[in-house]
Structure 1
Amino acid sequence: MLDTEQLNSHYDQLDTLGTADVVRALVDDQTQAVQAVSAVLGDLTRAVDETVTRLARGGRLIYAGAGTSGRLAQLDAAELVPTFSWPAERAVALLAGGRLAMFEAQEGAEDSTDGALQDLAEVELGAGDVVIAVAASGTTPYTVAALRRAREVGALAIGMANNPGTPLLLEADIPLCLHTGAEVIGGSTRLKAGSAQKIALNTFSSAVMVRLGKVYGNLMVDVKASNHKLRERAVMLVMTAAGVSETEARAVLAQADFKVNVAIVSLLRGVSVSEARALLQASGGHVRAAITSTS
């Protein structure tokens, strides 16, 4: 039996506990999610570095999963677009059962290897892409098939699972085993197994974006300022990064169509907005490189 499916004898009387004790048990058990991610920092670092290399050459991030794991992967892909202005067509999330499965469980879809192959064919998976496949069990046929096809075409295959020695990890170029063990509620991998996946996915994609220059210092400088809150955040980011007044930040942002990275490069390099855009294009969108380049 998989570790995530084992029964946790420590909580075998969970239903007899008071509400406060049930809540404490569930929260306390989550600490193991952080520990599980910490245990794979080396592999996670390698996954980030190799992904950055592929994406810098024009590759895409393609997530694949089913059920809870697939929904977490879908969420990670979706958040890259507003947070880092990453092109939506380069953050593709494949979920067993299709988009409907994001909101309504399509449990049978995870058993379809043909479904995975068809989904990958539709997005035209190529050798320059990165596939990150996520499954708590590490045995989900849809997810395993997706990762196997990734390796066949020469794409970077990253596998994330919560059970060691499982097929998904064995198929991966870079296996990420988030070994969280038995859950408080037997078999409910939406608990600490899911938490570990969320932490690892957040860490992975955020680190990738840092390495691609979407962050300056620790500021999110390629955010899409698509509403009032985000426009005000853009002003704060420019003020902080460039050390200018609110008035000056707003003026340059207005010229730069509220593109934070363009405004920062313009102010710190002392160049026009159009020159700042050219510097960013030449640096591949890397803000610090655009600021420090000698061209």
Structure 2
Amino acid sequence: MVTLASCGVSYEIVPARLTVEDVQGDSLSSVTRAVGGFLIEEGFEDLGKYKEMISLIESDASMPERLKREQLARLERERTYLNERHHLRVVISDFSAGVPPGIHLNYSRLSDHFVQLDVSDERSGGFGSYGLRFYERLLSRLKQRYGDFVRVVAAPPRTNEAEYRRVTTANTIAAALGWSLAFALPLLITGAASYYVLRGLRIPRLLKQIVFVGVNTWLDAPLPFPAAFIFAMPAPNLFAFPWTSMDYYSRVSSYAVLSFPIALLLCAVISVFLFRKEAHGEPGTNLVD
């Protein structure tokens, strides 16, 4: 079970759990290939091991050695698949060589050699309709291939639409406020600076507006940036300077396709008000069409 917290309302993610029992040696490779292939067909991305977390734990001198060994033992056995479009996550844990000391599983097992699959729908309010259908497809595929060796440890939690609406509404409001602050505060600086420079230039008013909109949209459009290890917050694109990490932009593309157009529209409206006087005899009027 995972608890997600943000500037809005936190909520718990309770995964469904399946096991494929009596898995050893070559059969482990068969299971991972079969499950991995099915997940790729379903639109999942293979993220592999959580290398960033492993590196962080290995370098954490303050963590007790016993806890460090337990966490590393767990992470080294996990492989994660993510379907970002449908907010689904599948974590495959390899216990084909047995459960190492320090890892405590709160369920009984038919075999000491097995593969565990945790299926999570990361929306609030339990599994949604798509998540439930995906779970049924995955379970059906596993049963077709492995029959009675497939065991349902925990079924998907019941859908709670009231909880989904409550959390979604609160977090949407919080996200809008966070975006607004992340956009407005830097705009006070970059907007004032660009306006001061542009108003003294003897160029057409329309060109001033275009430059103002382009510069401030690019610098101030909020994007998600990590504020802690598992927490991200909106901050202006200025923080991504020198803007050469295509990997970063590809990961935040779903956020950027909304953030940049909204920032562009707001900058355009602001530019109309800032430079409107130039049509009535202010500096640069003689070059305005």
TM-score after normalising by structure 2: 0.29
Higher-helix-fraction structure: 1
Structure of higher CA gyration radius: 2
TM-score by length of 1: 0.28
